[in-house]
Structure 1
Amino acid sequence: MNGLPMFPTILVDITGSAANIVFSFLSLWYAFRLTRLKPDNFLWGYLFYVTLAITAFAISRAVGHLAKELFYIFGQIEVWQNIAPYSGGVNTLCMISVAAVMIFYHKGVQAYEAIEQEAAKLKQSKIRLTQTADQLKELNLSLEDKVEERTEALSKSERKFRHLFTASKDMVFFTDQTRAIVDINASGLEMLGYAFDATPKLQLIDIFRNQGDVDVYTRTLAMYGYIRDLESEFKKQDGSTIYVLISATALYDEYSQVIGSECIAKDLTRLKNMMEQLVSSEKMASVGQMAAGIAHEINTPLGIILGYAQLMMDDFEPDSETYQNLKVIERQTRASRKIVADLLKYSRQSGSARVAVNLNEIINDAVAITEHNLNLSHIKVLKDCADPLPTIVGDPEKLRQVVVNLINNAHHAMEDQGRGELHLSTRYDSSRSRVIAEVRDTGYGIADHIKAKIFDPFFTTKPVGKGTGLGLSVTYGIIQEHGGLIEIESPVMGPDNSQIQGTLFRLVLPVAEETAAVREEPADSWQTEGRPHGAGHEGRK
């Protein structure tokens, strides 16, 4: 009698085992997705662990069947007989884990009970919220009546002053006996830089720049009952200053005691700025006349020094030390004559060289000029210059003067500290086709209220005899002449938006393609000669 073939049985066993593995993983994946949809649902979590245990059991069984069939196919029956007990043991452990998970079914019941308790709590909370809403509704009806009565009383009083208060273009405000501002018009808020949507809670000390002016204001009202044409300084919300002319009247109670004041303040800032600009213009005119008068007197001895230096250079070999010293005298004399020419620009227009300039070379020259004085003050120079750097078109003498002025200003800001760091950097901004140079110090910085004045002629924070107040004014004019911008940061914003102590000046200049056509530089230009090392050059700010 012939036996039946085993191939169909083996094929079915292998296919079923493989399908068992696939469907087990699909069930586990589906259970996992359910837990992700509702992570706080205990039942879905419980179902996931049950599925995980059953999947482990199914995979263990399926892998055992596959291994058995493969060993039979390849004639390794003895091997299977050796490992079969272990496979059965794994199956038993997996079955035990399934049973253990199922034992915790009561945890699911407890979870449902917890959910029911939470639902009951939420229901009670809803009832309490409904009761609270009813109470608020009743309170709101009573409050509306009170507000209506109060509003009517206030309207009668407000109509007396409405037109003057709201239509005035000057600041109008009222104070009480505690120096608090109880009301202020829209023009006043605008003058102080506050929003119109709500009246800020301000004290007189909040708007007066000086405490002494507050005392004068209060004392004068108490003594005379009024103030007429008092000039003072007000402080805006952003910290800036406006100049005002104050007229005020004291308010009294039935016992003739001062209970406050009413005040009108007229903004004089624009008028004061115009007067300052007028004074500045007169100073500029005086400088122009002075420069025109002394230019000949200064240039004459400089010309003699330059001529004698050039004559003496013919008597020495180019490699000699004396010749090199005379060369330094020649260079510095030419630079001095250039400085005089810059000063003459305050009285008349003059031309300037237009050549291709590399800002890295300008910075290196400026450092060479000032490094001796910087070293004496223990100031460390750190350079971070991009290389290669596109050239710009400009006057190298003037640009060198700009960098030297900025370095000397940074030196002045740090010399009292006995140490410091001077950071010089250049980079190319391809998005704007601009070359950017930055000069940053670690000094005491610039106060906000003088930032807007630092480029004004004759404005200086240095002691008398230390500066003329022309350095940054000349610097600003030179950068504008080159089609660039000069920006200032103090304190400096770091890469992580943190504030760094010190001041940063940023020069933004167009690359050569965007400036005027280049022409040849005069033969006596400093650019074609060697760099002076250790030579002094004082900034003019």
Structure 2
Amino acid sequence: MAAEIVAALADAVVVTGLDRQVLSANRAAAELFGRPLDDLPGTPIDDLVAVAERQHVAEREHRAVEGEEQRYETKIVGAGGDERVVDVSTTPLVVEGELLGTVATLRDVTEEKHAQDTLARSEARYRNLFESASDAIATFDANGRFTTFNHAAEIISGYRREELVGQWFAPMLPDDELPKALAHFQKALSGETGLFETSFYRKDGDVRTIQVTYSTPRLDEEVLCVIRDVTEQKMLQEQLIQSEKMSAIGQLVSGVAHELNNPLAGISAFAQLLLSEKRFPPDQRTAAEMIYAEARRASRIVQNLLTFARQHKPERTPTSVNQVLDDTLELRGYELRVRGIDVQRDYDEQSPETMADAHQLQQVFLNLITNAEQAMERAERDQQRLTIRTRRSGDLIRIEVEDTGPGIPPNLLERIFNPFFTTKPTGSGTGLGLSISLGIVREHEGRIWAENATQSGARFVIELPIVAPRPTGEFQSTPASQPVTDRLHVLVVD
């Protein structure tokens, strides 16, 4: 009866003696090995097992003979040489107290194993895509809790995945952005796909702008979000808009400056005529001198505005750093006076000229001075002071711009030159000023850094190499200027 049951089993059954040769087998075993049933008895087990698996199978059988039941996976060889993967369960064969060999039950799992391997490769492929994606990918359950989180999401958020999995997403969003995000989340759960833009808090507190594309792998159960950090893109757009505004302002300044130049030239000319009159009373002469000086000052400011507003090709010429600083301060003179900021010029008058692009340096100095103004505006002090200092240090010219504002947090000193990084309120800056300044200084083979002043405030330091002009040949001598006489002159203004 037992033999009939074994013969009818769907799983292959092989009885092996202590000499590791087949004693008997059922029809399922004959079909599995692709051999006639009568040929199996007396066949060595090694002839039925793949060469690479023979040692492994021998060890398992040895353990079974010692009384330990064995369950394992191996490969067998059919009559045609094809290999099949089987699950094996082996027990010792004991009859009337005597150990005769082992009984092994084999189940063909080749197709199942192939399906598992295919699934594993597919999962590995998609896991690799998931982890190597440049965009953040996250999934959420129906309650809005993180369930999966890729590497890009860790980078964008600053959190490790174990810190967020199981957590609700809402605390990461500003209060004014939460209703919009929840509305889109409900749409996603209902099966809709969509895209929206919002902002969120990184772990370090930095606010970033993100674009979220959502879909629903399982209706009412799971939401998949692909998240892209568009902070820099948004800032670039704002910078482009700002550049367009500045271009328009430049054209406006150019037109206004030309309109102002004509009356200013007339004022200067008539002041000179008055000063040339010897019979002019002293008190009136003093007034005329003031008119002439102020007209000349106004003319210089207009010229500085024109120079700053125009586009210039990069061109290095012998440049006095002190003069560029004076021109820049003249541009900001009114704002500095209105804000009650005392400007102290501490120049090294013996500092030589260096080959530099004066227009680019003026942009750097204007950025630093404007930043200092805005920093001091936020500081609570009765008297604010801006100190501009130049010194020659060996083969370098050292420029310092120091303010009495609140200073720079030490943890931000290394980040303030990063593009788009700003500590100003939203809409008050693009975060590009210091980054552009860094690029200009490096183009001049110099260095720029920030530090906190000894008492209070911040200090920006620039070091530029002193580069002597290259000789370009002989120049024609310029005739000496004619000495000033008492004769009147006519000034023609176009």
1:186 to 2:151 alignment: yes
Call closer, same or farther: CA 1:335–1:292 in 2, change over 3 Å: closer
2:252 partner amino acid? M
Taking the aligned partners of 1:280 and 1:165, their CA distance within structure 2 comes to 38
1:507 equivalent in structure 2: 462
1:226-237 correspondence to structure 2 within 5 Å? 226=192, 228-236=194-202
1:10 equivalent in structure 2: none
Deviations 1:465-494 (A, max 9, x none): xxxx9x979x959966993768464xx446
Cα drift, residue 402 of structure 1: 6.9
2:301 equivalent in structure 1: 336
TM-score, length basis structure 1: 0.47
Taking the aligned partners of 2:259 and 2:345, their CA distance within structure 1 comes to 40
Deviations 1:175-226 (A, max 9, x none): 35775534321233344467xxx63513566995634334432343236625
Cα drift, residue 335 of structure 1: 0.8
1:248 to 2:214 alignment: yes
1:58-137 correspondence to structure 2 within 5 Å? none
1:300 equivalent in structure 2: 262
2:196 partner amino acid? L
Cα drift, residue 271 of structure 1: 4.5
1:218 to 2:185 alignment: no
Cα drift, residue 311 of structure 1: 2.5
1:426 equivalent in structure 2: 390
1:326 to 2:291 alignment: yes
Cα drift, residue 246 of structure 1: 1.0
Taking the aligned partners of 1:322 and 1:310, their CA distance within structure 2 comes to 12
2:95 equivalent in structure 1: none
Which range is displaced more, 433-442 or 445-454? 445-454
Cα drift, residue 378 of structure 1: 6.3
Taking the aligned partners of 1:242 and 1:208, their CA distance within structure 2 comes to 11
* Corresponding residue to 1:440 among 389, 393, 402: 402
Call closer, same or farther: CA 1:379–1:335 in 2, change over 3 Å: closer
Deviations 1:208-259 (A, max 9, x none): 5634334432343236625611112345566555533212346879xx6x6x
Taking the aligned partners of 1:372 and 1:274, their CA distance within structure 2 comes to 30
Taking the aligned partners of 1:274 and 1:344, their CA distance within structure 2 comes to 21
1:265 to 2:232 alignment: no
SS in 2 for 1:201: helix
Taking the aligned partners of 2:441 and 2:327, their CA distance within structure 1 comes to 22
2:42 equivalent in structure 1: none
2:428 equivalent in structure 1: 461
Call closer, same or farther: CA 1:164–1:180 in 2, change over 3 Å: same
Call closer, same or farther: CA 1:365–1:511 in 2, change over 3 Å: same
1:483 partner amino acid? H
SS in 1 for 2:213: strand
Taking the aligned partners of 2:328 and 2:248, their CA distance within structure 1 comes to 30
1:483 to 2:448 alignment: no
* Corresponding residue to 1:173 among 126, 138, 142: 138
Call closer, same or farther: CA 1:404–1:271 in 2, change over 3 Å: closer
TM-score, length basis structure 2: 0.50
SS in 1 for 2:209: strand
Cα drift, residue 299 of structure 1: 2.5
Call closer, same or farther: CA 1:393–1:314 in 2, change over 3 Å: farther
1:220 partner amino acid? H
Structure with greater contact order relative to length (CA < 8 Å, sep ≥ 6): 1
Deviations 1:141-167 (A, max 9, x none): xxxxxxxxxxx9x97996696365235
1:511 partner amino acid? I
CA contact 2:446–2:465 (8 Å) conserved in 1: no
SS in 2 for 1:220: helix
SS in 2 for 1:321: helix
1:523-534 correspondence to structure 2 within 5 Å? none
Q: Percent identity?
A: 23
Call closer, same or farther: CA 1:341–1:349 in 2, change over 3 Å: farther
Cα drift, residue 324 of structure 1: 3.5
CA contact 1:488–1:503 (8 Å) conserved in 2: no
CA contact 1:206–1:235 (8 Å) conserved in 2: no
- For this pair of structures, how many residues does the alignment match? 341
Q: Which runs of 5+ in 2 are unaligned?
A: 1-115, 480-494
Call closer, same or farther: CA 1:318–1:413 in 2, change over 3 Å: farther
1:283 equivalent in structure 2: 245
1:436 partner amino acid? R
2:39 equivalent in structure 1: none
1:94 equivalent in structure 2: none
Cα drift, residue 437 of structure 1: 1.2
Taking the aligned partners of 2:272 and 2:363, their CA distance within structure 1 comes to 24
Taking the aligned partners of 2:386 and 2:201, their CA distance within structure 1 comes to 34
CA contact 1:305–1:333 (8 Å) conserved in 2: no
1:392 to 2:357 alignment: no
Cα drift, residue 445 of structure 1: 5.9
Taking the aligned partners of 2:337 and 2:253, their CA distance within structure 1 comes to 34
SS in 1 for 2:460: strand
SS in 2 for 1:303: helix
SS in 2 for 1:212: coil
Call closer, same or farther: CA 1:419–1:402 in 2, change over 3 Å: same
Deviations 1:39-76 (A, max 9, x none): xxxxxxxxxxxxxxxxxxxxxxxxxxxxxxxxxxxxxx
More helix by share: 1
